[in-house]
Amino acid sequence: MGFSTALSGLNAASNNLTVIGNNIANANTTGFKESRSEFVDAYADSVAGMSKIQPGTGVRLAQVAQQFNQGNVELTGNTLDLAINGEGFFTLAASPTETNSHLFTRAGAFHVNKEGIITNSQGQALLAYKPNGATAAAGFSTGGLTTVSLNTGAGKPVPTTKVDLDINLDASSPAITAPFDPLDSTTYTRETSISIYDSLGISHKLTTYFVANAATPPTRDWTAHHYITDDPLAPVSVDASPAGATLTFDSTGKLTAPANGQVALAPFVTGSSAANIAASVDYSGSSQLSTAFSVDAIKQDGLPAGTLTDVSIDKEGVIFANFSNGNSTPLGKVAMTRFTNPQGLTKLGDGAWGESAASGTPIIGNAGEGNFGTLQSGALEQSNVDISKQLVNLILAQQTYQANSQTIQTEKSAIDTIMNMR
């Protein structure tokens, strides 16, 4: 039995050297998880009552256990590099067209393939939840996972529906009695302009002219005339009333009319295939004080068409396409997967694992929720191999191998002695 016992020790040490060598070889592999050899002693079946004197028969490898402790996170600056801080795996499709066959990985080095789909270097596609709408606030579908494509085309234009205009009108401005004419600057007190957009993303210039009326203490009215000036020589009125909108301020300079500060504009016929522009102007932040005319804030909610400028990913895993018009559209939300027993996962190579009966059913969820870790864009999780520790283990495994070799040599010497007895 001595030879077989020592041989089991040699085999165990050899297996341990293989595991340690694999760990060391993958010390710089992104997302790699080190393994540990776990051994148990071996005993032959014993005759009843003989167990107290039954010698062991050696050692055997019980399992090679994967160590899923967190690796260091290294910044890369590449947006599509993703690191998981905490539990979970990225969910991959075997290929962009095989989305029902899932693989799992901690290696988050992704790029865009020639079809515009986010994949890793093995061509396995990153899977995500599909967005329910044009904003992340609309949520994401949980009905199934899909690949993420950057082939979004141009950023869709957004027609203007509201203009916010916060101004101060000079309370000391003299009243103007001449009939208003947008082409005659003596018939209005001040004016300001902003670009607005139709449904095709075409820009139109909205100019508002303010006319100071005679004071009627304790209030004073101003008339606001709103014009679209695509053609400077032929501006088109978009006031709901030809007389313009009346803005009334009280003795403290506060806007009192219209009560909600909103002035609805008449639909503007664009003259193209775009839908008519139907917008309103919000003056609720405006005032009339005895200081110079000022535009404190002016903005509108429309957008022109845009082109894709870059991609960003937040810590919850929402992937945004960012466009030159300032719009950001969600393309998907990275699907995270975890397992009750990750030790039971099947190693597939290339940094991927597969589901098995021992691992349990995949639990799919969102980054940052429950037991799922958060995501960090522009970073990669490094191998969790501790080189110093592995080198120490390598020395111990080598010594174990040598010791078992010596056991075999000793057994051989004892047998040779017996064979040479006369």
Q: Would you give per-residue pLDDT tens digits along the chain (422 residues)?
A: 456 776 776 777 788 889 999 999 999 999 999 999 887 776 655 545 555 556 666 777 888 889 999 999 999 999 999 999 999 999 999 888 888 889 999 999 999 999 999 999 999 999 999 999 888 889 999 888 999 999 877 688 999 999 999 999 999 999 999 999 999 999 999 999 999 999 999 999 999 999 999 999 999 999 999 999 988 889 999 998 888 999 999 999 999 999 999 999 999 999 889 999 999 999 999 999 999 999 999 999 999 999 999 999 999 999 999 999 888 899 999 999 999 999 999 999 999 999 999 999 999 999 999 899 999 999 999 999 999 999 998 898 888 777 767 766 666 666 666 667 65
Are residue 166 and residue 294 in the same domain, yes or no?
Answer: yes
Q: Are residues 213 and 283 in the same domain?
A: yes
Other beta carbons less than 10 A from residue 65's beta carbon? 13
**Residue 271 burial (CB count, 10 A):** 12
Q: At 178, which CATH number? A: 2.60.98.20
Cβ contacts of 31 within 8 Å, gap of 6 or more = 71, 105, 106, 107, 108, 351, 380, 381, 383
* CB 378 within 8 Å of CB 79: yes
Domain boundary among 300, 331, 364: 300
Are residues 195 and 288 located together in one domain of the fold?
yes
Count CA atoms closer than 13 A to 324's CA, side-chain side.
9
Radius of gyration of the chain (CA): 37
* Total tally of structural domains belonging to the chain: 3
- Closest of 136, 153, 97 to residue 312, by C-alpha: 136
**Which of 28, 77, 30, 29 is CA-nearest to residue 377?**
77
Whether 387 contacts 24, CB under 8 Å: yes
- What SS3 state is found at 147? strand
3-state secondary structure of 10: helix
From 252, 284, 300, give the residue that closes a domain.
Answer: 300
Domain match, 146 and 263 both = no
pLDDT at site 48: 52
Q: For residues 272 and 151, what is the distance between their CA atoms, to the nearest angstrom?
A: 28
pLDDT, position 295? 98
What pLDDT does 155 receive?
80
* Sequence-ordered strand ranges (E) for 120-218: 125-131, 140-147, 162-170, 190-197, 203-216
For residues 171 and 292, membership in a common domain is answered with yes
What are the tokens at 121? 């270097």
Give the amino acid at 109: A
Q: How would you label 122-153 residue by residue, b for 16+ Cβ within 10 Å and e otherwise? A: eebbbbbbbbeeeebeeebeeeebbbbbbeee
User: Which pLDDT value is given to residue 143?
Assistant: 81
| Structure token pair of residue 421 | 């007895």
* Residues 265 and 188 placed together within one structural domain of the fold: yes
Q: How high is the pLDDT of residue 56? A: 64
Q: Could you tell me how far CA 40 lies from the centroid of its own chain?
A: 45
Whether residue 191 is found in the same domain as residue 281: yes
CA 353 to chain centre: 23
Whole-angstrom distance, CA of residue 279 vs CA of residue 265? 6
259 and 211 in one domain?
yes
Print the domain residue range for 34.
2-69+384-419
Cβ neighbors of 236 (< 8 A, separation 6 or more) are 227, 228, 229, 230, 268
Q: Are residues 59 and 82 in the same domain?
A: no
Two tokens at 122?
């093995």
338 and 364 in a single domain? The answer is yes
The end-to-end CA distance of the chain, in Å, is 24
Domain closes at, from 300, 320, 347: 300
What pLDDT does residue 133 have?
Answer: 86
| Strands 162-170 vs 280-282: parallel, antiparallel or unpaired | parallel
For residues 16 and 84, membership in a common domain is answered with no
Residue 172 C-beta-side C-alpha neighbours within 13 Å: 4
70: its two tokens: 């967190």
pLDDT of residue 159: 95
373 & 389 share domain: no
